[in-house]
């Protein structure tokens, strides 16, 4: 099936699901065929366009419809997010630039939280579009620096704030912070702020990081094009002994924190379907000497 046929089937199917009487049209009376759902003329009326214009879209004959028009069609036909994505793909050949729901990516289904908690042996978590942690397992909690004999705890539910503004992260947890972590992190933040201007959390992060005397100069001067860290490997200290099959190489980063081990952490990322912008991470930690990393030191 080509894109034109797929688009036609999608739009016709959605039209048939809508009851005109619920949208203000009187019940159909009299003889004649009564096709279910909205007619093309009724959809066109709701869109404030001519019937010919809407019919062109449904036949796949509209040349490069605008994002605004496609989103209006999605609203009128009450498309779900996955159906809206299909509308864009069939009409333009690519997915929409932003989720239709401004809250998309801020939550994940409860099953995701349960699945993440069940992972054993690797730190894993899900964060939303603003890096707020919305699901995590026990290994993730144990990943952060802590005082000797203290209970494991997450120092900040917002990971970007922790990684860019917390002294423990910059000085003890994230090895080679300025060269290997700060540059890609601030590039990610810049991209997210531009992509989600409706997010109060991201706007607040933008202000806090920009005003910070350590991260601020890097953030304001950073023009690196960088979106997500999938597959990146960087240095980190893990304040736990690691998987049982790995020999522990424990040492102290300072007099305050419990013993930990230094090694390379590779970030494996994926997106939970139904939560655009959210990210699921599994951190693969390998203790030992440093390997080559993609980010060189700042000059």
Taking only the tens place, the pLDDT of each residue in 53-84 is 999 999 999 988 999 999 999 999 999 888 88
Which one is the CATH code of 3-92: 1.10.1740.10, 1.10.260.40, 3.40.50.10880, 3.30.70.360? 1.10.260.40
User: What is the sign of the dihedral through the CA atoms of 45, 47, 48 and 53?
Assistant: negative
Q: Where are the alpha helices (DSSP H) in the chain?
A: 3-16, 40-47, 51-58, 67-76, 81-92, 110-117, 138-141, 159-165, 167-168, 183-195, 200-211, 215-221
- Going by C-alpha positions, the residue among 142, 15, 154 that lies closest to residue 74 is 15
For the chain, give the percent of residues with pLDDT over 90: 49
The token pair at 19 is 């009851």
| Domain 110-287, architecture per CATH | 2-Layer Sandwich (3.30)
Question: CB count, 10 Å around CB of 198?
Answer: 10
pLDDT at 33 over 70: no
pLDDT score recorded for residue 73: 95
pLDDT at 295 over 70: no
How far apart CA 177 and CA 171 sit, in angstroms, is 7
Are 115 and 95 contacting, i.e. CB atoms less than 8 angstroms apart? no
Q: Residue 296: pLDDT band by 50, 70, 90 thresholds?
A: very low
The tens digit of pLDDT for each residue in 80-96 reads: 888 888 899 999 988 88
Are 137 and 121 contacting, i.e. CB atoms less than 8 angstroms apart? no
How far apart CA 159 and CA 142 sit, in angstroms, is 14
Largest Cα–Cα distance in the chain? 88
If phi > 0 it is left, if psi is from -120 to 50 it is alpha, else beta; for residue 271 that is beta
Per-domain boundaries in the chain = 3-92, 110-287
Q: Which residue has the tokens 């423990």?
A: 168
């Amino acid at each position: 099936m080509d894109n034109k046929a797929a688009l036609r089937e999608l739009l016709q199917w959605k039209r048939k699901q809508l009851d005109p009487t619920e949208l203000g049209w009187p019940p159909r009376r009299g003889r004649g065929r009564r096709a279910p759902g909205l007619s093309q003329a009724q959809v066109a009326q709701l869109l404030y366009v001519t019937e010919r214009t809407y019919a062109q879209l449904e036949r796949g004959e509209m040349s490069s419809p605008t994002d605004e028009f496609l989103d209006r069609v999605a609203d009128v036909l009450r498309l779900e997010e996955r159906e809206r994505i299909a509308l864009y793909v069939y009409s333009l050949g690519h997915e929409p630039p932003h989720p239709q729901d401004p809250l998309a990516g801020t939550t994940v289904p409860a099953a995701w939280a349960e699945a993440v908690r069940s992972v054993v042996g690797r730190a894993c978590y899900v964060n939303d579009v603003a890096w707020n942690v919305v699901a995590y397992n026990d290994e993730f909690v144990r990943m952060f620096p802590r005082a000797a004999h203290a209970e494991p705890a997450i120092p900040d539910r917002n990971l970007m704030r922790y990684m860019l503004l917390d002294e423990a992260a910059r000085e003890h947890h994230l090895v080679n912070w300025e060269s290997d972590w700060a540059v890609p992190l601030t590039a990610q933040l810049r991209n997210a702020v531009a992509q989600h201007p409706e997010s109060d959390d991201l706007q607040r992060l933008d202000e806090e990081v920009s005003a910070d005397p350590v991260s601020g100069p890097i953030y304001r001067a950073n023009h690196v094009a960088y979106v997500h860290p999938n597959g990146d490997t960087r240095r980190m200290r893990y304040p736990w002994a690691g998987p049982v099959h790995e020999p522990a190489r424990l040492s102290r980063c300072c007099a305050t924190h419990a013993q930990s081990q230094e090694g390379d952490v590779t970030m494996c990322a994926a997106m939970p379907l139904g939560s655009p912008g959210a990210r699921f991470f599994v951190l693969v930690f390998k203790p030992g000497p440093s390997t080559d990393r993609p980010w060189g030191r700042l000059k």
